[in-house]
Structure 1
Amino acid sequence: MVGTPRSEPFFTPDGDQLVPARHADSPWSPDMVHGRLFGGLLARALEREHSDPELHFSRLTVDLFRNTRLVPVQVQTRRVRDGRRIRVADATVYAGDEPVARASAVLLRRGEQPSGTAPATSAWDAPTPGELGAPRADPSSWVPPFDVWLLDEDGKPTEGWQASGPRRAWVRDRCDLVAGEPMSPLVRVALAGDFASPLVNFGAHGVLEFINADYTLTLSRLPRGEVIGVEATGQLSADGIAAGSCTFHDDEGPIGFSTLTAVANPAATKH
């Protein structure tokens, strides 16, 4: 596959702070940091301060509970538990003195793969971006700094997030998260985790009916390559609260799952 054309990174280090670029903004507001970037920053800090070659980041839960303007942020982490086979660590993003997002990670020790035959999730049959051609041209006024290939139930490109059948997409970031740092596989999948929300929560009229408050990635392995596939597998809602789930893939097969909770989006009632 042709390499991703690189744009300016989302953040530039300044001491212990990270200064957002203009294109770190959100589709909700031009002066608001996109929430998915907090997931990337949290994963980056946890990986830098708590990783171990013998341990695998098997779970990452990201809570998105406060918006912030395009102002410098910093991330603080702490080790919660260190055991023989498990490590648990937390991280929090601060804008000034205010916490705006947090994460909890579980790292498990790698070992010998069992020889049993537990039922496994099958690889999907979606064509790869190399087979699909150019990514989707976003029709909105907000130009996303990532590539998206949306697929219909027959695996053909579609322009809308609101497909009535199975919803599937490939996503690829075009920018590094932090200047001077190649994006790691963990950071890449943490950024992609937020895509589960639009994939499961867009309504038939093209409006995002629920806005996610969190997402949890559970990963059997990290992605290989720049492109991550997201396949919607379930959505339920009642009383303005939704729960959703997706399976995550790379070119070689499924790698894990993303689950989320979301609250009704008042803007959706206008349509």
Structure 2
Amino acid sequence: MPSSTAPRGGYFEPIDDHRYKPTPHASGAWDPDEQHFSPLGGLVVHAIDRHRAARPDDGLVLSRISYDILGRLALDECEIEVETVRPGRTIELLEAVVRIADRPVVRARAWFLSAVDTTAVAGGAEDRLTPPESLASWPMSDVWPGGYIASLDVRPVAPPRPGRTTAWVSTPLDLVAGVPVSPLASYLTLVDTANGIAVRQPPTEWMFPNVDLTVHLHRQARGTWTGLDTTVTFGPSGQGLTSTVLHDVDGPVGHAQQILTVRPLSGA
């Protein structure tokens, strides 16, 4: 686990039921005045959880969430509004919009599906990653600046390679300081880290931010570690793709995809 000297607190501080203030721990990698999207993605799930908690438990579970990043994520107060787009007893669709300075910056849609016992027919990939407790930490901040990256405990299964890395990620920080959040919100807080663990080119010379993140889950994750089995591909015309098999300590839980806009840094 992260050392006892790691920073304490959270990525966000609550202002009221819908507004949150990011802390310096949420600062981004290319610009310290911007938010890293990863904790904001977890905060969206927390807001969706709060929206659904106002109703009786219907037994539905989050099975897919897609985020579209609409603009610059300033390190400033954000407001999250959630609405039910498609209600249902076995399938439900919710939408969340994040606003900063009254401007929409993220739009997310989440599908919830009914949870039933399908143990008898469950099957698929069963390979587990090497447990994080047996692995050494990797100083990811040697590659990336920013408060978010500095807050992480990253433990690669093997030495990171350009375009290909498998690693565990954890954090000692709360998502929202002093506020309990669901295990899934905590888990998804770390998923967007995938685009930074297997860089194909130095981020001091190239930009490759993702404009979206889509997560599909075939099982609900548990534990405090997010496992990222990540491959990054750059195409020949300015687009890239980060593809990740998501794990918890029991094995695969789903997949994540991020489309990238790839371009050289000016003056590099």
TM-score, normalised by the number of residues in structure 2: 0.85
- 1:1-150 alignment runs, 5 A limit: 7-15=8-16, 16-50=18-52, 52=57, 54-113=59-118, 115-116=120-121, 120-124=124-128, 126-136=129-139, 138-139=141-142, 141-143=145-147, 144-150=150-156
Runs of at least 5 residues in structure 2 that lack an aligned partner in the other structure: none
Distance 1:49 1:214, change over 3 A: same
Equivalent of 2:200, from 200, 203, 216? Answer: 203
The equivalent residue for 1:155 is none
- SS class of match (2:41): helix
Report how far residue 80 of structure 1 moved.
0.6
AA in 2 matched with 1:28? W
Report how far residue 60 of structure 1 moved.
0.9
AA in 2 matched with 1:264? V
Runs of at least 5 residues in structure 1 that lack an aligned partner in the other structure: 153-157
Question: CA deviation digits over 1:69-128, x for unaligned, max 9?
Answer: 22211100100111231010000111121011121100000113063475x12323x322
Report how far residue 23 of structure 1 moved.
2.2
Distance 1:236 1:115, change over 3 A: farther
2:174 is the alignment partner of 1:168: no
Query: RMSD of aligned C-alpha atoms?
Result: 2.6
AA in 1 matched with 2:186? R
Residue pair 1:56, 1:221 contacting (<8 A) in 2 also: no
- SS class of match (1:33): coil
Report how far residue 204 of structure 1 moved.
5.1
The equivalent residue for 2:264 is 266
* Alpha-carbon distance in 1 for matches of 2:27, 2:122: 46
AA in 2 matched with 1:121? A
The equivalent residue for 1:194 is 192
- SS class of match (1:130): helix
Report how far residue 133 of structure 1 moved.
3.7
Residue pair 2:63, 2:217 contacting (<8 A) in 1 also: yes
> How many aligned residue pairs are there?
259
Distance 1:25 1:122, change over 3 A: same
Residue pair 2:61, 2:113 contacting (<8 A) in 1 also: yes
* Alpha-carbon distance in 2 for matches of 1:135, 1:170: 10
AA in 2 matched with 1:111? V
Report how far residue 166 of structure 1 moved.
4.4
Question: CA deviation digits over 1:116-146, x for unaligned, max 9?
Answer: 475x12323x322211144536325535211
AA in 2 matched with 1:235? T
TM-score, normalised by the number of residues in structure 1: 0.84
* Alpha-carbon distance in 2 for matches of 1:184, 1:86: 20
* Alpha-carbon distance in 2 for matches of 1:168, 1:176: 24
AA in 2 matched with 1:20? P
Q: Which has the higher contact order (CA 8 A, sep 6+)?
A: 2
